[in-house]
C-alpha cells in the first residue's frame, strides 16, 4: 500500500491497462491523480466485468466530447456526434483497456481469467455502490490533445473494483 493507501497492484494495472489500451488510438493520456473511491462525474461509462481469483469490474467514465475524441483515434477522424459506430468504438476501447488490465493482473492475487462483454451507460445521474471488502482504485487521466477550451472534457477515469474470491 502507498501512503495514500492505494493498492499498488491495482494502481499499476489501471495505468498500464489504460495506456496500453489506448496505444492503437495514438492518444497517450497522462495519469494525473488516483483515489480509492469511484465517483461517476461524467455522463458516459463503459463497464466490463472481470472474473477470476477476484471478481468485479473495470469502469471507464468520460464525457461525450472525450468519447468522441478517443473513438476518433480509432477511426482516424473525430466524429461530430455520437452514433452507433461511436458507441461500438468506445465499448471496444473499454474492452481493450479491460484486456490490458487482465494482463497486468496476471500472476497477482487479483488474477483475472475472463472479461465480460462491455456495457455502455449513458446519463449523468447515477451513483455506484459496492459491497464491503471491495479493493478499488480509480485513476484520473488527462488527454492533453483536447483543446484547453474544453478543459473538463480532457479528463476521464479508469476504475478497477475487485473482490477477492475466498
What average pLDDT does the chain have?
A: 92
Question: Side-chain half-sphere of 131: how many Cα atoms within 13 Å?
Answer: 7
C-alpha distance from residue 83 to each of 68, 90, 166 (Å): 10, 11, 42
Cα angle value 76/82/84 (rounded, 5°) = 85
Q: Are strands 54-62 and 135-142 parallel, antiparallel or unpaired?
A: unpaired
pLDDT in tens, 60-69: 999 999 999 9
Q: What is the pLDDT of residue 1?
A: 45
What values do phi and psi take at 159, rounded to 5?
A: -120, 130
**pLDDT tens per residue, range 68-122:** 999 999 988 999 999 999 999 999 999 999 999 999 999 999 999 999 999 999 9
Q: If pLDDT is split at 50, 70 and 90, which confidence band does 158 have?
A: very high
Query: Which grid coordinates are listed for 85?
Result: 459506430
Domains in the chain (CATH in brackets) are 8-164 (3.40.1550.10)
pTM, two decimals, is 0.92
Q: pLDDT above 90 covers what percent of the chain? A: 75
Of 58, 54, 44, whose CA–CA distance to 101 is shortest? 58
20: cell is 496500453
pLDDT of residue 3: 66
**Cβ(56)–Cβ(50) below 8 Å:** yes
Amino acid at each position: 500500500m502507498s501512503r495514500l493507501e492505494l493498492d499498488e497492484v491495482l494502481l499499476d494495472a489501471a495505468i498500464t491497462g489504460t495506456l496500453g489500451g489506448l496505444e492503437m488510438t495514438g492518444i497517450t493520456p497522462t495519469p494525473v491523480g488516483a483515489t480509492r473511491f469511484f465517483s461517476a462525474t461524467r455522463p458516459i461509462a463503459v463497464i466490463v466485468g472481470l472474473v477470476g481469483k477476484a471478481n468485479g469490474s473495470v469502469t471507464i467514465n468520460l464525457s461525450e466530447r472525450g468519447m468522441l475524441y478517443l473513438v476518433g483515434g480509432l477511426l482516424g477522424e473525430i466524429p461530430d456526434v455520437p452514433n452507433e459506430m461511436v458507441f461500438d468504438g468506445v465499448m471496444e476501447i473499454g474492452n481493450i483497456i479491460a484486456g490490458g488490465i487482465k494482463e497486468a493482473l496476471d500472476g497477482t492475487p487479483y488474477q483475472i481469467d475472463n472479461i465480460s462483454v462491455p456495457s455502455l451507460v449513458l446519463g449523468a445521474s447515477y451513483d455506484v455502490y459496492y459491497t464491503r471488502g471491495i479493493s478499488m482504485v480509480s485513476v484520473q487521466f488527462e488527454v492533453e490533445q483536447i483543446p484547453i477550451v474544453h478543459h473538463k472534457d480532457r479528463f476521464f477515469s479508469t476504475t478497477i473494483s475487485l473482490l477477492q474470491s475466498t
